[in-house]
């Protein structure tokens, strides 16, 4: 059980704070690094994921609160509330970083040593042979790229770039004189951060580049005595606001904003916590840093780089995750997806099944003489994407291709701009972002006609995940393929709405945020309440990434008080407080494992005749009110049962699953008297059996 979430602010009687809840989730990620049952390098990677998550959190959420605390406007917080929240976040993060230091230094480094990998932490540890190697390596490979810059408060301040690791050095002239301070940028673009040293016997040796530099600073500062050196870095505000401009001007405005991201306001200044107070005071003054922006860190910062830690020992088993299954026939039948969907709706679960099924689906459309048009949304797309290649090939084959490109996908703006320009040059019709809205729906449509131009069977696809071959290997998502004519027509209406051809759309099956999604969700919840009041079982299971919308939380509280049994499977933010009198029938499960749980699947019991839905939105204020999201009902009984089985496995999980309690603690579900259930791996085996049955 984790510890940093013992206090809930008095005013949060009915809701957890969104950011504090997210910190609880990120701490759960960190706790994976403690699991000795995991492969060693997977444990190390969870340190990297935790660190990367925290970096983005400061660049976006904390930066926003700092702007409000400095006098900026906000509909959520007053200046005083923002200031108090920042202090609270700082306290929790500091406690978590203590855990990170403990896990890294007391568990992971000894585990590496036990596997004959010695990770040197200082010059004092170096064996004589390695001292000579390190000194020679420094002179030949590192020294030419070092450029110390003197820091002088009275002169123009040096600009510290976002996320760059710097070494702050304090020196004195040997013949006497006052202290001087210098900044060195770590030359990671020229030299790898993790340096492999010569093997000795059974042992392999690694060293951080910054430690090599620290141990050889006397070669840099000739004529000086090096007093001390510590790493530091800046995280800058990375949010981009372009909602107030027309589509015609959005591209240029976005380009300007993205360029300025690297020079945004300081969100945090992270420094080695062993840095003396007077050293830190000098840097604060010299770089005009607010003390609220200070975050004490480890000796080694930017630990997200641990995801690239070399594994020199071939005896250490690599991290093996389930490989994507392929439906029988996919590799031999050029029309496999068309034929399979024509027989009935198809659910595919990534990464348990290969994303090649979707790219094959596009390939079939490219070469289908009856396909006249392909429509698709693009939110986050992989570099060198096969999806984009197929869309370009379709345009070259004379198909009409329409792609809605969401330019405001945070941190993917530049990639989306470049991809959109490439597609436009290929003849693809590009629809850009809608002012004031994000289009977060993950949908695709293949429209077909016969030789006389009359509509024939067409295909629609609704997913919980992006059209991204890379993330599809690590994000656990689900997508529905269908040729149901009502859903096809609804999706065509959605794309015509995005293209501004329709202003008041009507949808019969699809649920679209800002149109018919919220009324349908409330209707389903209220129906379960009516069942419970009538003495029948009321049942709701909701799987999503985040639950923050206060209106929908109140709906769930009301359902709980009416006697509806509610299970929430929420990976990240959950502002609903379980286990209180108003939520006594609500339980919250969190699963963190090899894959990132990303699917949104909703179950409403309906007295034994359940409704099941899947789609793109979480229950966040932004998703339900300020985005275009798409949700589809699952109509096929067999596919419904698959989803029910998936949810059941996740709720029965007692390994990698935990309860989130009424104090935001992650309470692991561990019962030695029950068979071990690891949801992701058990569901993979479930799908293996299903694919095996289809072969027979």
Task: Give the integer Cα–Cα distance in Å for 46 and 30.
Answer: 6
Percent composition of the chain: helix, strand, coil (DSSP 3-state, to 5): 40, 25, 35
- Cβ pair 47, 35 in contact under 8 A: no
Query: What is each CA distance from 478 to 20, 133, 601, 639, 653, in whole angstroms?
Result: 29, 51, 9, 11, 19
Q: Both tokens of residue 306?
A: 């641990």
Task: Give the integer Cα–Cα distance in Å for 230 and 665.
Answer: 34
Three-state secondary structure call for residue 544:
strand
Query: Cβ contacts of residue 140 below 8 Å, gap of 6+?
Result: none
- Cβ pair 140, 161 in contact under 8 A: no
Q: Both tokens of residue 676?
A: 């071990």
Three-state secondary structure call for residue 278:
helix
Q: 310-313 — which CB contacts under 8 Å span 24+ positions?
A: 310/194, 310/196, 310/206, 311/41, 311/117, 312/117, 312/196, 312/199, 312/204, 312/206, 313/115, 313/116, 313/117, 313/204
- Cβ pair 571, 589 in contact under 8 A: no
- Cβ pair 583, 576 in contact under 8 A: yes
Task: Give the integer Cα–Cα distance in Å for 639 and 645.
Answer: 10
- Cβ pair 521, 559 in contact under 8 A: no
Catalytic residue among 130, 440, 492, 598: 440
Tokens 């275009």 label which residue? 628
Three-state secondary structure call for residue 499:
coil
Query: How large is the C-alpha radius of gyration of the chain?
Result: 27
Residue 440 among the catalytic residues: yes
Strand order of the β-sheet with 565-570 is: 511-512, 630-633, 611-615, 601-604, 539-544, 565-570, 586-591, 657-660, 666-668
- Cβ pair 242, 250 in contact under 8 A: yes
Query: Cβ contacts of residue 692 below 8 Å, gap of 6+?
Result: none
Query: What is each CA distance from 274 to 99, 184, 233, 385, 470, in whole angstroms?
Result: 16, 18, 15, 45, 39
Task: Give the integer Cα–Cα distance in Å for 209 and 195.
Answer: 6
For CA atoms 623, 625, 629, 630, the dihedral sign is positive
DSSP character string of 642-683: HHHHHHHHHHH--BSEEEE-TTS-EEE---TTS---BHHHHH
Q: Both tokens of residue 88?
A: 């609270």
Task: Give the integer Cα–Cα distance in Å for 172 and 226.
Answer: 7
Task: Give the integer Cα–Cα distance in Å for 586 and 540.
Answer: 9
Task: Give the integer Cα–Cα distance in Å for 586 and 558.
Answer: 11
- Cβ pair 196, 137 in contact under 8 A: no
Active-site residues, by number, are 440
């Amino acid at each position: 059980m984790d510890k940093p979430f013992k206090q809930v602010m008095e005013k949060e009687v009915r809701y957890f704070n969104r950011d504090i809840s997210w910190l609880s989730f990120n701490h759960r990620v960190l706790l994976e690094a403690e699991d000795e049952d995991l492969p060693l390098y997977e444990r190390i990677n969870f340190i990297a994921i935790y660190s990367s998550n925290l970096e983005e959190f400061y660049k976006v959420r904390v930066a926003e609160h700092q702007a409000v605390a400095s006098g900026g406007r906000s509909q959520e917080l007053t200046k005083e509330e923002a200031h108090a929240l920042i202090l609270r976040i700082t306290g929790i993060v500091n406690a978590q970083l203590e855990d990170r230091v403990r896990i890294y230094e007391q568990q992971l480094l000894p585990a590496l040593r036990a596997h004959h990998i010695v990770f040197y932490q200082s010059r004092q540890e170096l064996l004589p042979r390695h001292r000579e190697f390190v000194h020679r390596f420094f002179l030949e490979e590192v020294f030419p790229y070092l450029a110390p810059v003197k820091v002088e408060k009275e002169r123009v301040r040096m600009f510290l770039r976002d996320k760059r690791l710097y070494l702050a050095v304090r020196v004195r002239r040997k013949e006497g004189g006052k202290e001087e301070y210098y900044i060195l940028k770590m030359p990671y673009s020229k030299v790898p951060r993790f340096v492999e040293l010569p093997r000795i016997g059974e042992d392999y040796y690694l060293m951080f580049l910054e430690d090599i530099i620290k141990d050889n600073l006397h070669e840099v500062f000739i004529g000086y005595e090096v007093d001390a050196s510590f790493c530091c870095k800046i995280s800058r505000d990375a949010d981009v606001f372009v909602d107030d401009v027309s589509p015609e001007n959005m591209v240029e405005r976005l380009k300007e904003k993205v360029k300025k991201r690297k020079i945004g306001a300081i969100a945090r200044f992270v420094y080695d916590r062993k840095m003396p107070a007077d050293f830190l005071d000098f840097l604060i003054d010299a770089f005009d840093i607010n003390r609220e922006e200070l975050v004490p860190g480890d000796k080694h910062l930017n630990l997200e780089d641990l995801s690239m830690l070399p594994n020199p020992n071939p005896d250490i088993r690599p991290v093996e995750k389930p490989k994507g299954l392929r439906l029988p026939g996919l590799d031999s039948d050029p029309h496999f997806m068309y034929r399979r969907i024509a027989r009935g709706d198809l659910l595919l679960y990534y990464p348990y099944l290969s994303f090649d099924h979707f790219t094959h689906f596009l390939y079939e459309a490219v070469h289908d003489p009856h396909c006249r048009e392909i429509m698709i949304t693009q939110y986050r797309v992989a570099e060198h994407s096969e999806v984009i290649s197929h869309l370009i090939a379709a345009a070259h084959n004379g198909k009409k291709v329409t792609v809605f490109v969401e330019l405001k996908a945070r941190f993917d703006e530049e990639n989306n701009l470049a991809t959109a320009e490439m597609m436009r040059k290929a003849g693809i019709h590009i629809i850009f972002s809608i002012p004031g809205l994000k289009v977060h729906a993950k949908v695709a449509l293949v429209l077909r006609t016969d030789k006389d131009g009359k509509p024939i069977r067409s295909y629609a696809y609704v997913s919980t995940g992006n059209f991204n071959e890379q993330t599809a290997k690590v994000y656990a998502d689900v997508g529905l393929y269908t040729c149901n004519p009502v859903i096809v027509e609804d999706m065509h209406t959605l794309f015509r709405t995005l293209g501004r051809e329709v202003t008041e759309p009507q949808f019969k099956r699809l649920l679209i945020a800002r149109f018919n999604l919220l009324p349908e969700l409330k209707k389903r919840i209220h129906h379960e309440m009516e069942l419970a009041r009538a003495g029948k079982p009321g049942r709701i299971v909701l799987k999503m990434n985040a639950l923050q919308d206060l209106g929908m939380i109140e709906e769930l509280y009301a359902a709980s008080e009416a006697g509806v049994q509610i299970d929430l499977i929420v990976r990240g933010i959950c502002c609903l407080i379980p286990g209180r009198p108003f939520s006594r029938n609500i339980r919250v499960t969190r699963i963190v494992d090899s894959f990132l749980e990303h699917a949104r699947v909703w179950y409403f019991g309906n007295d034994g005749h359940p409704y099941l839905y899947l789609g793109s939105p979480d229950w966040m204020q932004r998703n339900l009110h300020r985005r275009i999201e798409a949700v589809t009902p699952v109509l096929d009984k067999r596919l419904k049962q698959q989803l029910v089985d998936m949810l059941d496995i996740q709720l029965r999980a007692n390994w990698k699953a935990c309860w989130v309690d009424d104090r935001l603690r992650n309470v692991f579900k561990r019962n030695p008297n029950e068979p071990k259930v690891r949801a992701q791996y058990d569901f993979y085996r479930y799908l293996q059996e299903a694919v095996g049955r289809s072969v027979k």
